[in-house]
Amino acid sequence: MIYYDVTKMAGARQKSGLTRVSSRLREEMGSSVIPVAWDEGFREFNGWSKIKFQPQDWLLTVELFSGAERPGFREWMERRECRMAAMFYDAIPLRFPTVTWPQSVQRHPDHMKLLAGFDRVFAISRASQEDLTGFWHWQGVEPHAKVSSIEFGADFDGSARVTHATKTEPGTRPSLLCVGIVEPRKNQGFLLDVCEALWRDGVDFDLHIVGRINPHFGQLLEKRFKQTRKREARFHFHAAAGDVTLKRLYQEARAVVLPTQAEGCGLPLLEALWHGVPCVCSDLPVLRENADSGGCLTATVNDQSDWEAKLRTMLRDEATCRRLQAEAIKRPLPRWQDTMHALLQALQR
């Protein structure tokens, strides 16, 4: 039996990468898993009723937490009532503490140490796997866990993959799309600098930014967005966009742009390719794990001239754009169903 941890995600209101992972995996796993949640009062997992774990059972968690956030969890782990598997996303709170939520910075070292006591840990990229094992080595932690990397699905809403390049109607203004929480790490302010320079240079296009505002770090960006919208009709900010709206924006985009300074995986890149849309992304090793197989252009992080050149190419070079569209459509991409099967197969070994 596989028990699926939904302690935080079951009641999550925000559409984030974590909620996407939790909900899509749970959808794909269906009746093969039983949802459970950590009960702080009883200091154990409960479902519809009290859970009686068996040694051959698995607890699978894709959540982020520390021992302090789950009183008694460390002691429950030590009892080893069942086998335990977890997902590891990234070490961003340790690498970029000045632009990460203080709660995340405080939580993350203990979270990463807890993972060492699991039986299996699935890192969401090879780069994340190296960050986790490197952290354990640095901290002198002898891991019990067997660590491997796993690919996320590109079909964010379960829709069919786009198999034909979309034709731009004559006279239609192209658009660029950026998806992600609005905060300094995601670099939307830098992207706006690049786009404003292109607009001043006569390049005509729309820019759509989709993402909730980080309440701790996003206020200055939110203020800038409001000021930009007043003077530039080609700039559009969507603080809240459901799957239907997001799917439409993907379908209408000439390219998805990902100017981020750090990622664990980069789901918008995969989701763009699923919709047959090329991606221009930062030249980070974690993004190149998916970008190098086709359909993408990479640009040097925070290099404005390089980003201007790459976006100008996407917006004005029809031959390059068509080539990248064809690559995006033809290249193999994982589905969340594939992610689910890979997890189940690993747990059965």
Q: 235-239 contacts: CB < 8 A, separation 24 or more? A: 235/192, 235/195, 235/206, 235/207, 235/209, 236/206, 236/207, 236/208, 236/209, 237/208, 237/209, 238/208, 238/209, 238/210, 238/211, 239/211, 239/212, 239/213
Give CA–CA dist 257/314, Å, rounded. Answer: 10
Same-domain pairing of 309 and 201: yes
Same-domain pairing of 127 and 200: no
* Three-state DSSP class for residue 294: coil
Task: Categorize the per-residue pLDDT at 332 as very low, low, confident or very high, splitting at 50, 70 and 90.
Answer: very high
Same-domain pairing of 203 and 108: no
Q: Are 290 and 215 in contact (CB under 8 A)?
A: no
Residue 240 confidence (pLDDT) above 90: no
Q: Are 2 and 56 in contact (CB under 8 A)?
A: no
Same-domain pairing of 141 and 197: no
Q: What was the pLDDT predicted at 158?
A: 78
Same-domain pairing of 70 and 20: yes
Same-domain pairing of 189 and 141: no
Q: What was the pLDDT predicted at 170?
A: 62
Looking at the DSSP bridge assignments, the partners of residue 34 are 3
Domain assignment present for residue 252? The answer is yes
Q: Tell me: the pLDDT tens digits for 181-190?
A: 999 999 999 9
Q: Tell me: the pLDDT tens digits for 278-319?
A: 999 999 999 999 999 999 999 999 999 999 999 999 999 999
Domain interval for residue 232: 175-330
Q: What was the pLDDT predicted at 78?
A: 95
The CB density around residue 14, as the number of other CB atoms within 10 Å, is 9
Same-domain pairing of 290 and 307: yes
Task: Categorize the per-residue pLDDT at 223 as very low, low, confident or very high, splitting at 50, 70 and 90.
Answer: very high
Tell me the torsion sign for CA atoms 258, 320, 238, 333.
Answer: negative
User: Which tokens go with 65?
Assistant: 């937490």
Residue with tokens 């952290």: 135
Identify the CATH number of the domain in which residue 324 sits: 3.40.50.2000
Average of pLDDT values for 229-239? Answer: 95
Q: What is the DSSP string of 138-165?
A: HHT----SEEEE-PPPS-TTSPPPP-SP
Same-domain pairing of 121 and 200: no
User: Which tokens go with 152?
Assistant: 């996320």
Same-domain pairing of 207 and 304: yes
Instruction: Identify the H or E element spanning 299.
Output: strand 296-299
Domain assignment present for residue 161? The answer is no
Same-domain pairing of 212 and 135: no
Domain assignment present for residue 280? The answer is yes
Looking at the DSSP bridge assignments, the partners of residue 255 are 176
Domain assignment present for residue 184? The answer is yes
Task: Categorize the per-residue pLDDT at 99 as very low, low, confident or very high, splitting at 50, 70 and 90.
Answer: confident
Number of domains the chain contains:
2
Same-domain pairing of 94 and 27: yes
Q: Tell me: the pLDDT tens digits for 115-158?
A: 999 999 999 999 999 999 999 999 999 999 999 999 999 997 77
Q: What was the pLDDT predicted at 15?
A: 62
Residue 348 confidence (pLDDT) above 90: no
Give CA–CA dist 240/182, Å, rounded. Answer: 11
Tell me the torsion sign for CA atoms 266, 269, 273, 275.
Answer: positive
Q: What was the pLDDT predicted at 101?
A: 84
Q: What was the pLDDT predicted at 168?
A: 62
Same-domain pairing of 117 and 141: yes
Domain assignment present for residue 162? The answer is no
Q: Tell me: the pLDDT tens digits for 13-68?
A: 566 778 888 889 999 999 999 999 999 888 999 887 778 999 999 999 999 999 99
Give CA–CA dist 269/280, Å, rounded. Answer: 8
Domain assignment present for residue 166? The answer is no
